[in-house]
Structure formats: structure tokens, C-alpha cells
């Protein structure tokens, strides 16, 4: 059973002052228009009917710039959500918005409702990248918005993108480090995908934009994830959720899309961890794991098998159903070293 769900209410592009060149929320969210009151009620009821016993439930307004929506509309969304929060004793409201749409007045207004979390689309902390993506705000706007939000009891979430126009691996690392310095409670990481009917798709078709490949994306995530974790910042998501709308070749024109990106990254972390752990072992190495962890060692589409067989000395992997789910047996020792990666596969 899930411990936490967000009931997503999409307000695609609603409140956005700009058309960021990579964004097509109608494709990403799978909804062409914002929900009306009737649809919101239906959606909340539908989620609640399948969420019996889930201890933490939030209503989340995603897909647009919530605080840029005309105030009377914001009020009606918030009042409707508040009604359900009280009626079903839910945990609160979460919303996403732009850094340049955070002011003291807006935050005072949100405080009148059970809003518990605000997520900002940061995307990059490089002004060059922000400008090339036509975000319409600067890195300084992000810093100011975060400071202001921190002066209220809201949970702060920050979203970053990898591989936007003019972005580099070094700039994405810089963005991650800057975000860590802003002390959010959680982050979401989105590799840039070229989505149909966006300016980025036109740039791509004209040869003026080259998306990152999957390997660059995974390697960068392997670099920045431990930094977020070391700072105690939760990484809630890596990559877009696969919806019926978002499918490579249909709405995604190009880019490092993989339906199981997080899994690929965690498996690679596990592999790297083991290779480092066994680097001084000189004789044949044996690794045992329970079924789920064994699957991670084998890797998505068996992509890791050659890593073990080509290793010198050979690494033999096998299943051991008696092992607890977090424990690997390496050589003759039991090991619970890379807890995060291992836990990821055993949820």
C-alpha cells in the first residue's frame, strides 16, 4: 500500500505569463484544459475511492502557474480543495508555480487555506539557460522566492531540468549545487524532452538544438543524486511520468526518455557501488541477493550481465530467497551498504 498520494488537479498552462520553449502541458499532463468544478469533484472522489487506508493524501494543483491564475479563480480552486481536505481529513494542498509569481501578498493569501507545499519550477540557475529557454525569470528571482517561502511554514519543492538549450553538464551540476544551497525539502528532476508542438521541437527540427542522450542524463543523475541525499533533500521524481499521451515517437520527438529512468539510475548506482566495493578482491567473487535485488543486479533488459561476466575476476551473481530484502551477500560477507539504492528496488 502506498504511504503517500497526491490527487493531481491539472491546470495546464493556466496562469503562465510565458510559453517556455520546452513546455506543452497539454501533452505532458494529458489534459487540454483546466478542470471545471464538476470534474475536480469527480477526480477527487475517484482518487479517494482507491486510496482507502493511505495515511498521507494531498490535493495538488499541477501543470500551470497556480499563483498567476486570476485571484478569484485561485480562490474557488482553493475553497473547493479545502472542502475535501476538511471532509475527508486529508493532509493539505500542494501547488506548483513560477519563481517570479511569489510575493508576500500571494503567500499571505495562500496561508488562509490548508496549503502545505509550494513547488517552484526553477529549471536552471544559469541565466543564460533560463533566457535561452524563454523562462522569463532569472536565477535571482528563484533565490528571492525561496527566501520568501522559507519565511512561511510552507514546504518548499524545487524542480530542475537537465539539458535545456545552452545547458551543459557543468551548468546542471552548478544548478543542483545552487538548489541544495536554497534548502528545499524536496526536488524533482526532469531531463529535457523535445515535445511536439513546442518551440524546442522546431529548434530541434532545424538542427539548432541537440537533446542530451540517455547516458549523459544517467551519469549526471548519478553525480547529483548523492549530493541531494547528503544534504537531506528528498528526490521525489526523476523524469516525466509515462502517460498514455507521453510516448516516445508520439508526443516526444526526441530526448532522453525512458519509461523506467529512475530504475535505470538506481540499478546503475547499485552496480557502481558493488564494483567499488569489490575492487580489491583478487579471486572469484560471489554475490547473492533475494529475488528483487537480483533483478536489479541483472538490470533492465539484462543490461548488466556482461558487467559481471567481463569483470576480472568474474563476479557470479545468484538468487538466495533466504536473504532479507536489503542485504546482499558479497563473497563471504553480508552487506547492507547501499541502502538507498537497494531499498528502491524493494519497496
Q: Which residues bind ligand SF4 (CB under 6 A)?
A: 13, 16, 18-20, 23, 25, 64-65, 98, 121
Smallest gap from Cβ 217 to ligand SF4, in A, equals 19
Which residues fall within 8 angstroms of residue 45, CB to CB, at 6 or more apart? none
Residue number, 23 or 342, with CB nearest to ligand SF4: 23
Instruction: Tell how strand 115-123 and strand 92-97 pair up.
Output: parallel
Is 157:117 a contact under the CB 8 Å cutoff?
Answer: yes
Residue number, 13 or 268, with CB nearest to ligand SF4: 13
Residue number, 164 or 287, with CB nearest to ligand SF4: 164
96 vs 145: CA distance, rounded Å: 13
Smallest gap from Cβ 183 to ligand SF4, in A, equals 22
Residue number, 27 or 269, with CB nearest to ligand SF4: 27
Residue number, 121 or 211, with CB nearest to ligand SF4: 121
Smallest gap from Cβ 175 to ligand SF4, in A, equals 15
Smallest gap from Cβ 192 to ligand SF4, in A, equals 11
User: What is the radius of gyration, based on Cα positions, of the chain?
Assistant: 22
112 vs 110: CA distance, rounded Å: 5
Q: What does the chain come to in residues?
A: 347
Is 255:191 a contact under the CB 8 Å cutoff?
Answer: yes
Residue number, 23 or 220, with CB nearest to ligand SF4: 23
User: Any alpha helices (H) in the chain, and if so which ranges?
Assistant: 25-29, 37-49, 71-87, 104-110, 127-132, 139-150, 169-181, 199-205, 214-230, 261-277, 291-298, 305-309, 339-344
Residue 95: DSSP 8-state? E
DSSP reduced 3-state for 301: helix
Smallest gap from Cβ 64 to ligand SF4, in A, equals 5
Smallest gap from Cβ 321 to ligand SF4, in A, equals 46
Smallest gap from Cβ 135 to ligand SF4, in A, equals 7
Smallest gap from Cβ 213 to ligand SF4, in A, equals 23
Residue number, 65 or 82, with CB nearest to ligand SF4: 65
Residue number, 119 or 266, with CB nearest to ligand SF4: 119
Instruction: Tell how strand 92-97 and strand 56-62 pair up.
Output: parallel
141 vs 122: CA distance, rounded Å: 9
119 vs 99: CA distance, rounded Å: 9
Task: Give residue 244's Cα distance to chain centre.
Answer: 18
Amino acid at each position: 500500500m502506498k504511504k503517500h498520494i497526491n490527487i493531481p488537479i491539472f491546470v495546464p498552462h493556466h496562469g503562465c505569463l510565458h510559453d517556455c520553449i520546452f513546455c506543452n502541458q497539454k501533452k505532458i499532463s494529458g489534459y487540454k484544459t483546466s478542470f471545471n468544478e464538476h470534474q475536480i469533484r469527480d477526480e477527487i472522489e475517484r482518487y479517494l475511492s482507491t486510496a482507502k487506508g493511505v495515511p498521507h493524501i494531498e490535493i495538488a494543483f499541477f501543470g500551470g502557474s497556480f499563483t498567476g491564475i486570476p485571484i478569484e479563480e485561485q480562490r474557488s480552486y482553493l475553497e473547493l480543495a479545502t472542502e475535501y481536505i476538511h471532509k475527508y481529513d486529508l493532509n493539505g494542498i500542494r501547488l506548483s508555480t513560477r519563481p517570479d509569481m511569489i510575493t508576500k501578498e500571494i503567500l499571505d493569501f495562500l496561508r488562509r487555506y490548508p496549503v502545505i507545499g509550494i513547488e517552484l519550477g526553477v529549471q536552471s540557475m544559469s541565466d543564460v539557460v533560463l533566457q535561452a529557454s524563454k523562462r522569463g525569470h532569472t536565477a535571482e528571482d528563484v533565490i528571492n522566492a525561496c527566501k520568501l517561502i522559507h519565511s512561511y511554514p510552507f514546504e518548499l519543492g524545487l524542480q530542475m531540468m537537465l539539458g535545456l538549450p545552452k545547458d551543459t553538464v557543468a551548468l546542471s551540476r552548478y544548478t543542483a549545487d545552487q538548489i541544495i544551497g536554497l534548502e528545499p525539502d524536496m526536488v524533482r528532476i526532469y531531463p529535457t524532452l523535445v515535445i511536439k508542438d513546442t518551440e524546442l521541437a522546431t529548434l530541434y527540427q532545424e538542427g539548432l538544438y541537440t537533446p542530451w542522450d540517455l547516458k549523459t542524463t544517467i551519469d549526471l543523475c548519478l553525480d547529483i543524486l548523492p549530493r541531494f541525499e547528503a544534504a537531506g533533500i528528498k528526490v521525489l521524481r526523476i523524469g516525466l511520468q509515462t502517460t498514455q499521451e507521453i510516448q516516445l515517437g508520439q508526443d516526444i520527438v526526441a530526448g532522453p526518455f525512458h519509461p523506467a529512468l529512475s530504475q535505470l539510475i538506481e540499478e546503475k548506482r547499485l552496480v557502481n557501488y558493488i564494483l567499488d566495493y569489490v575492487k580489491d578482491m583478487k579471486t572469484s567473487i560471489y554475490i547473492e541477493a533475494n529475488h528483487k535485488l537480483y533483478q536489479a543486479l541483472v538490470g533492465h533488459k539484462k543490461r548488466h550481465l556482461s558487467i559481471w561476466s567481463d569483470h576480472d575476476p568474474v563476479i557470479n551473481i545468484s538468487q538466495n530467497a533466504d536473504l532479507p530484502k536489503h542485504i546482499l551477500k558479497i563473497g563471504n560477507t553480508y552487506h547492507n551498504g547501499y541502502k538507498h539504492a537497494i531499498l528502491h528496488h524493494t519497496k
